[in-house]
Structure 1
Amino acid sequence: MHKLLSHTAVAALTLAFAGEAMATEWNVSLWGKRRAFTEHVHKLAELVEQKTNGEFTMNISYGGLSKNRENLDGISIGAFEMAQFCAGYHPDKNRAITVLELPFLGVRNLAEEVAVSNAVYAHPAVTEEMAQWNAKMLMTSPMPQYNLAGTGEPRDTLAEFDGMRVRATGGLGKAFAAVGAVPTSVTSSEAYQAMQSGVVDTVAFAQHAHLSFGTINEATWWTENLNPGTVNCPVVVNIDAYEGLSDAEREALDGSVGEALDYYLANYGELLKKWDTILEEKNVTKVTISDEQLAEFKKVAADPIAAAWIEEMSAQGMPAQELYDLVGATLEKTRASN
């Protein structure tokens, strides 16, 4: 009887360990804190866990696994299985998707931002470049057009932008530089301190980031209609980890992306509805840029910067014109279908 019990206990333990070994657990590297910008990642984790009956789970970390500018490097070496990053943090590592950060692309809303991102992410040039980092595009993190939160006297003309120290990355930084501003690319987590200490006069963010990183608390004014562009921040997965999933796990992951993004869009929409109230509560003045000033900004910053990007990327072997045209064609197709 003793031997029988021993064998039974061993068998039970063996089955328990086998069951535990079969479960899949991914680590996900984000930064800052939970906010509208990361809600789709949380929704995705929730859906995947539900669809796999708890056999595939995700541990979401805010800065505990990596710095935000090092997330792509972490993915490349398999330090974690999933991560979010922004193209402007290291444009040399993700050249193809920087087309989505060019200023004044004409994207009107978050749904269009999802459409153009999905189209560009599916391009072979993006797939190939990301594979160099052992990364596979999973989904975008759509953001509205950026606007400035500033200190001091409101600036509503391009002449007043001359010499303005602004936190802006990627194509946005180039756009502001084109009108005489001085861009700096401190990370989003460092933006508040840079603003508070006077290192920058203004910060270009989407609404959720002005809230999450506290820059709106330091600001005295906010441009409601500058809309020079936005940054592009994909969520990627480690290719080896992705290929190591079972068919059911992969189906659960891929099949949850659309629902996770729908949830993100609905959640962000609620934030945008509250934005004017938030500005009033914080005593932040809304600044409207005139149509003439906006037209001048586009003239100086849109076509010249796009042309320079196309020339530079083409010289590096990228199908730059093709990627740029893809954005325009996708916008036309999306609007026609609506």
Structure 2
Amino acid sequence: MKTLWTGAAAAALTMAFATETLATEWNVSLWGKRRAFTEHVEKLAELLNEKTGGEFTLNISYGGLSNNRENLDGISIGAFEMAQFCAGYHPDKNPSITVLELPFLGVDSLELEREISMAVYNHPATQADLERWNARLLMPSPLPQYNVAGVGDAPRTIEDFAGLTVRATGGIGAALEAAGAVPTSMSATEVRQAMDSGVIRAASFAPHAHMSFGTIENADWWTTNLNPGAVNCPVVVNIDAYDSLSDAEREALDSSIDEALDYYIEYYNEQTMAAWGPALDERGIERVELAEEELTALRELAAAPAAQAWIEENNARGLPAQELYDLVIDTVAASKQ
């Protein structure tokens, strides 16, 4: 009897171990804390768990696996299987997707930001660009147009931006620089301290980030309609990890992307934007609306020169830069017909 029990126990343990080894767990490198910006990844984890009965799960880490500026490097070496990063953190590493960060592209909704991002992500040149880092583009993190929160005197004309030290990356930084501001690139997690210490006087963020990273806690003003653009922050997966998935796991992942993005956009529109106005009012932050003639002047200063410079620079890299730029502009135009 003892021999039979021992044999049965060993068999059960062996089966349990085999079952455990068959399960797939991916490590996911994010940063900051859970917020609107990460809700599509959280939703993706929920969907994968449901569709696979817990056999394919995401272990989401907020800063415990890597610095946000090193997430693409971590993906390239397989330090983790999935990560989020922003193109403007290292434009030389991912030049193809920086077309989405050019200023004044005319994007006016999260839905359109999603559409143009996926159009660029699906372009063969973009995919080849990211493959250099063993990265497969999975989905974007659509963001509304950025605006600036700052301390001191509020800018009311383009001339008022002269000398303003502001955290801004990519095309947003280029637009503000055209207005005379002094943009600087730093991690979102560093911005509050930089504002508190006077290193910068303002920061350009989407509303969720102004709230999440505390820039509105000491801000005096916020521009309501500058709308220079948005950063592009894809979620990517390690190609080797993706290729090693079973057919069922890959189907579960691929089929969950649209649902995760739908949830993200609904959450951002209904939760974050609903909280933004009251957050400004509670802190007595002045809403600064620039006159249309000022905005028109800034667009003329920034949009065409930034686009032309981007095209020339990335043609020299061997990218079909004009084609990628036209893809964005045509997609925006088609959405407004």
SS at 1:332 equivalent:
helix
In the TM superposition, what is the alpha-carbon distance from 1:77 to its structure 2 partner?
0.5
Alignment match, 2:141: 141
Separation in 1 of the partners of 2:223 and 2:334? 30
SS at 2:232 equivalent:
coil
Separation in 2 of the partners of 1:332 and 1:162? 32
Separation in 2 of the partners of 1:195 and 1:31? 20
Does residue 295 (structure 1) correspond to residue 296 (structure 2)? The answer is: yes
For residues 272-310 of structure 1, give each alpha carbon's deviation from its aligned partner in whole angstroms, at most 9, with x where no partner exists: 133222111111000001101100100000001100110
SS at 1:310 equivalent:
helix
In the TM superposition, what is the alpha-carbon distance from 1:2 to its structure 2 partner?
2.5
Alignment match, 2:276: 275
Does residue 332 (structure 1) correspond to residue 333 (structure 2)? The answer is: yes
The 8 Å contact of residues 31 and 61 in structure 1, kept in 2 or not, is answered as yes
Alignment match, 1:231: 231
TM-score by length of 1: 0.98
1:50-61 to 2 correspondence within 5 Å? Answer: 50-61=50-61
Alignment match, 2:111: 111
The 8 Å contact of residues 192 and 215 in structure 1, kept in 2 or not, is answered as yes
Q: Which amino acid aligns with 1:36?
A: A
Q: CA RMSD in A?
A: 0.8
Does residue 220 (structure 1) correspond to residue 220 (structure 2)? The answer is: yes
Bigger shift: 94-103 or 1-10?
Answer: 1-10
Separation in 1 of the partners of 2:81 and 2:97? 21
Separation in 1 of the partners of 2:158 and 2:104? 16
Percent identity at matched positions? Answer: 63
Q: Which amino acid aligns with 1:251?
A: E
The 8 Å contact of residues 75 and 83 in structure 1, kept in 2 or not, is answered as yes
Separation in 1 of the partners of 2:23 and 2:108? 42
In the TM superposition, what is the alpha-carbon distance from 1:332 to its structure 2 partner?
2.6
Separation in 1 of the partners of 2:72 and 2:203? 24
Aligned length: 336
For residues 7-60 of structure 1, give each alpha carbon's deviation from its aligned partner in whole angstroms, at most 9, with x where no partner exists: 211111110100000000010000001100001100000001000001111111
Alignment match, 2:258: 258
Separation in 1 of the partners of 2:273 and 2:156? 22
In the TM superposition, what is the alpha-carbon distance from 1:334 to its structure 2 partner?
2.9
For residues 84-107 of structure 1, give each alpha carbon's deviation from its aligned partner in whole angstroms, at most 9, with x where no partner exists: 000000000000000000000000
The 8 Å contact of residues 115 and 334 in structure 1, kept in 2 or not, is answered as no
1:32-43 to 2 correspondence within 5 Å? Answer: 32-43=32-43
Alignment match, 1:79: 79
The 8 Å contact of residues 156 and 289 in structure 1, kept in 2 or not, is answered as yes
SS at 2:198 equivalent:
coil
Question: Which segments of 5 or more consecutive residues in structure 2 lack a partner in the other structure?
Answer: none
Alignment match, 1:11: 11
Alignment match, 2:318: 317
SS at 2:336 equivalent:
helix
The 8 Å contact of residues 66 and 74 in structure 1, kept in 2 or not, is answered as yes
The 8 Å contact of residues 44 and 256 in structure 1, kept in 2 or not, is answered as yes
SS at 1:229 equivalent:
coil
Does residue 243 (structure 1) correspond to residue 231 (structure 2)? The answer is: no
Q: Which amino acid aligns with 2:326?
A: D
Alignment match, 2:31: 31
Q: Which amino acid aligns with 1:174?
A: A
Alignment match, 1:63: 63
Q: Which amino acid aligns with 2:100?
A: L
Q: Which amino acid aligns with 1:329?
A: D
Q: Which amino acid aligns with 1:273?
A: A
Separation in 1 of the partners of 2:45 and 2:39? 10
In the TM superposition, what is the alpha-carbon distance from 1:173 to its structure 2 partner?
1.1
SS at 1:302 equivalent:
helix
